[in-house]
Amino acid sequence: MQWHAWMPITEVLDGFFEYEIIFDDDSQERFGVYLSEKDYNIDLPLLIFPTNYAAIDSGSITFQYQFSQDATKAYLRIEELEDGKWISRDWISINNYEHTVDSVFLKKEKNYRWTVQPVYKAKVFPWTEAKADYEYFSIK
């Protein structure tokens, strides 16, 4: 599990937290949230297809996955390897189980990685995310 970057908590801490954000225009806002130990116990998504290091014949892929129904929203994240760096290609808003991405988006002879990132508590700040480790695939 990872907390969103705005709240870099690396250990289980419960209690009331206040956070102050200074925006580019020098305006400031304070946010507060109560976190309990259960907020840290989030199930990671299950990535089903494409399997890790799969070589796919077609540029059109139906990604298959599962994540907790407690998520308020979720994203399919796809990145392309370009000049040795992973470049984000899209954050696609998804529902549970599957989503098809067509061949216009995924190019032949390219390497990709993907994950599913559900978001929990999206109406409070900070929100929590349970991003699964990336799995890798290529288009033949």
How distant is the alpha carbon of residue 119 from its chain centre?
8
Q: Is the pLDDT of residue 65 over 50?
A: yes
How does DSSP assign 17-73, residue by residue?
EEEEEE-TTS-EEEEEEEE-GGGG--PPPEEEESPTTEEESSS-EEEEEE--TT-SE
pLDDT tens, 92-109? Answer: 999 888 999 887 788 889
Whether residue 62 contacts residue 50, with contact meaning beta carbons closer than 8 Å, is answered with no
62 CB neighbour count, 10 Å cutoff? 11
Question: Residue 41: what residue type?
Answer: N
Q: Is the pLDDT of residue 76 over 90?
A: yes
Most confidently modeled range among 11-15, 24-28, 127-131: 24-28
CATH code where residue 100 lies = 2.60.40.10
Distance CA 65, CA 115 (A): 9
Q: What is the pTM of this model?
A: 0.71
Instruction: Specify the number of domains making up the chain.
Output: 1
Residue 122's domain comprises: 2-139
pLDDT tens, 77-96? Answer: 999 999 999 999 888 999 88
Phi, psi of 115 (to 5 degrees): -155, 170
Whether residue 114 contacts residue 77, with contact meaning beta carbons closer than 8 Å, is answered with yes
